[in-house]
A and B are shown apart, each in its own frame.
Chain A
């Protein structure tokens, strides 16, 4: 069966450290993978997209890697801040498929 698994329900880290979130998928051939941030009671907000032929993408303090052999994406937030506390969702889309499939998310808490 198809699955998208994000490493843990919750991740707690200290301010200033790097947060690393994992997204593993099974029985998908994604054309691209996206990461979203979601705050309580709000809709997801797009952060980064990485295509199947890309290994790494960066945007400010954010970095995403994509390993199609391991079927895994890693999402890193460097120099984390309490304001980074939120749920982070990974989502993928296959070729010839119009719907995005989301993982359940990882709730990140950055403590001051």
Chain B
């Protein structure tokens, strides 16, 4: 396992359609994060899983967004009824919780670039 992978790398969809993205983290990592990044900005936190439990969701994550990590391994992020404002790069990151719990390094995937027409 060489790193975090995301699929697809690019997605073009029409407004109103649903899209689903997949993230495969580094295999031994128990934490998984989703971020959104728009041009010229840094990544914005969306949600976070520890194993299969979704522990935190940003206020950026509207009701149209849902994320799952059913077996504590891969995760999916679904956007329903896409809007043009959803166009962005969606990044996934994984990490291994430090025994001390004090700090961790997140390893990012290559991202999925979404364009909503």
Instruction: Give A contacts to B, CB under 8 Å.
Output: 4, 9, 31-32, 34, 36, 41-46, 49, 51, 89, 91, 93, 98-105
Contacts and interface: CB of A to CB of B under 8 A. Distances in A.
Given A32-B103, A43-B91, A43-B109, A102 B48 contact: no
Given A43-B4, A99-B58, A104 B103 contact: no
25 contacts: A36-B108, A41-B110, A41-B111, A42-B110, A42-B111, A43-B108, A43-B110, A43-B111, A44-B43, A44-B91, A46-B107, A89-B42, A91-B42, A93-B103, A98-B48, A98-B56, A99-B33, A99-B45, A100-B106, A101-B45, A104-B40, A104-B41, A104-B42, A105-B40, A105-B41
B44 A34 contact: no
Given A43-B93, A100-B43, A104-B41, 17 more contacts: A4-B42, A31-B102, A31-B103, A42-B110, A43-B91, A43-B108, A43-B109, A46-B105, A49-B103, A49-B105, A51-B102, A89-B42, A93-B103, A99-B45, A100-B106, A105-B40, A105-B41
Contacts of B43: 44, 89, 100, 102
Contacts of A102: 42-44
Interface of B: 4, 33, 40-45, 48, 55-56, 58, 91, 93, 102-103, 105-111, 113
A55 B40 CA distance: 29
Given A9-B40, A98-B48, A105-B42, A45 B103 contact: no
Contacts of A93: 103
B2 to A, nearest CB: 13
A21 B68 CA distance: 37
B103 A44 contact: no
Nearest to B44: A102
Contacts of A42: 110-111
Contacts of B56: 98-99
